[in-house]
Amino acid sequence: MAEHFPILVVIIPIMASFIILLLWRTKHRYEWHITTAATFLSFLISLSLLNTVFLSGPIRYWLGGWEPPWGIEYVVDSFSGYVLVVVTLVSFVTSVFAAKSVKKEAGEGRTVSFFALYSLLAGGLYGIIVTGDLFNLYVFLEISSLAGYALVGVGKKKRAIVASYNYLILGTIGATLYLIGVGQLYIMTGTLNMADLSQKLPAIFESKVIIAAFALFIVGLSIKMALFPFHAWLPDAHGLAPSVISPILSACVIEVAAYAMMRVMFTVYTPAFVFKVVPAKEVFLLGGGVAMLVGSYLTLAQTDIKRMLAYSSVGQMGYIILGLSFANHTGLVGSIVHIFSHAILKASLFLVAGSLIYKTGITEISRLKGMGKKMPLSMATFTIGALGMIGIPLTTGFISEWKLALGALEAGKWFIVPVILLSALLNAVYFGRVIEIVWFKTDEEEGHGHKEIGKHEKTSIDEAPLSLVLPPFILVSLSIIFGIGAFIPVTLAEKAASMLLGMP
């Protein structure tokens, strides 16, 4: 069965979606159990695939036994295996969290549709990662997107429908641009297999059609990954969707879009085109730097914790793009490590925000005074996750920022180092504001009166259930573990970067 793992990792959550719908009318409700089991199995399979790739090299799986380029090929290499583990991990941990959260925020009657869509979304994301065919990537991109649009609007908030619609419009524009690019490549080469395209494209690199297709891929996938200035759909989608959807949107959906962009750039077009034929380095340098600073600046103005975290993701995508602009191994390693770091840390922060909403219904940052004493475990998790996002040493956030700074110096772009430091400083300001309010502010300081009652309320512990506390704690613990044992993510990222750059 192990030889079929590349297809099973995708099929299992998609089949789980159908099974959930088939059991809709039965007496017993198993939708959460099925979803959690499916994502857990996919996570175990992804670990096995990454181990095989690391020891034996890339895995190529031909669907239906049809040889590529005529048939669809799934490829698990050092890059896709790495990202697959990250995404399956976050989707599994988030599904554990969803057991109680969904019932409260979406309602008992919508749990079946929620988990069916969630499983479908997970399967679509896994498919994007393992496919070696450009059109098949589009199919999975649409599967995950359609499920994501519906999940944003599945909650009780009426304005969530508007956010879902806006996400639908912009997401469709991004997918359409991507599909037009696919069509242009097929017209010029007659193939959609990524490996086959990488062999045929060098002869026609100077073609305006090929260059236009590249531009369409970059813009379309930039919309999908909410890169500034294509981020308009993200804040409302996060702020109005059920809390359990935000970790998937921020830690999986936009990360997988970033993966798809890097896959097209380095596997299909190859580094020779990206760094020599088109001015990609200059565009990514400007776009990444601006995204980092503007995203962080916009985050400072937010008063809602979920919107604050959403705008933070806009800035964090800038880090990934910035690493690509250096055109060297170290910078690319920084981008790949940042995919892992941002995924686990931002997912943990959104999950803690979900715990807050579950217990108190509060999303306004100013109303979180004294919450550290009421929900100490959740707030301690949030604090550690925030420190990781800032880039404090002994966390994965520090590793990725350090590698990006080294990559900038190696590329002779020393002026980028202050930009990275400034972005980290802005992160410290807006996360520090939350940490201060949570741990060091009380209502008594604001002069609201009723000090004795207020004091009693602030010091009485009323923590979220363990099923809500444990998932984000696991994720921030991994950030510390791999921050201390930095050689593990760095080694995996170095192997992935070498493969993407065509280095031995």
Per-residue pLDDT tens for 288-307? 889 888 888 888 888 888 88
- Is 60 exceeded by the pLDDT of residue 476? yes
Please report how the helices 78-105 and 487-500 are oriented relative to each other, as an axis angle in degrees rounded to 10. 120
CA–CA separation, 232 and 174 (whole Å): 13
pLDDT level of residue 440 (50, 70, 90 thresholds) = confident
pLDDT at 366: 81
pLDDT at 450: 40
**8 A C-beta contact, residue 396 and residue 479:** yes
- Is 70 exceeded by the pLDDT of residue 504? no
pLDDT level of residue 163 (50, 70, 90 thresholds) = confident
CA–CA separation, 19 and 16 (whole Å): 5
CA–CA separation, 138 and 133 (whole Å): 9
pLDDT at 486: 87
User: Mind giving me the DSSP string for 199-247?
Assistant: HHGGGGTT-HHHHHHHHHHHHHHHHHTT-TTS-THHHHHHHHS-TTHHH
Domain ranges of the chain: 279-504
Following CA atoms 11, 17, 21, 22 in sequence, which dihedral angle do they give, to the nearest 10 degrees? Answer: 30
Please report how the helices 396-410 and 487-500 are oriented relative to each other, as an axis angle in degrees rounded to 10. 40
CA–CA separation, 69 and 175 (whole Å): 23
pLDDT at 460: 74
- Is 50 exceeded by the pLDDT of residue 458? no
The pLDDT tens digits of the residues spanning 178-211 come to: 999 999 999 988 889 998 898 888 888 888 999 9
pLDDT level of residue 457 (50, 70, 90 thresholds) = very low
pLDDT at 100: 79
- What percentage of residues in the chain have a pLDDT greater than 90? 34
Amino acid at site 471: P
Query: Mean of the per-residue pLDDT values for the chain?
Result: 86
In the predicted model, what is the mean pLDDT of residues 260-273?
A: 90
CA–CA separation, 429 and 54 (whole Å): 40
- Is 70 exceeded by the pLDDT of residue 452? no
In the predicted model, what is the mean pLDDT of residues 446-459?
A: 43
- Is 80 exceeded by the pLDDT of residue 155? no
pLDDT at 454: 42
pLDDT at 106: 67
- Is 60 exceeded by the pLDDT of residue 449? no
Which of 362, 358, 352 lies closest to 384 in space, CA to CA?
Answer: 352
pTM of the model: 0.89
- What percentage of residues in the chain have a pLDDT greater than 70? 93
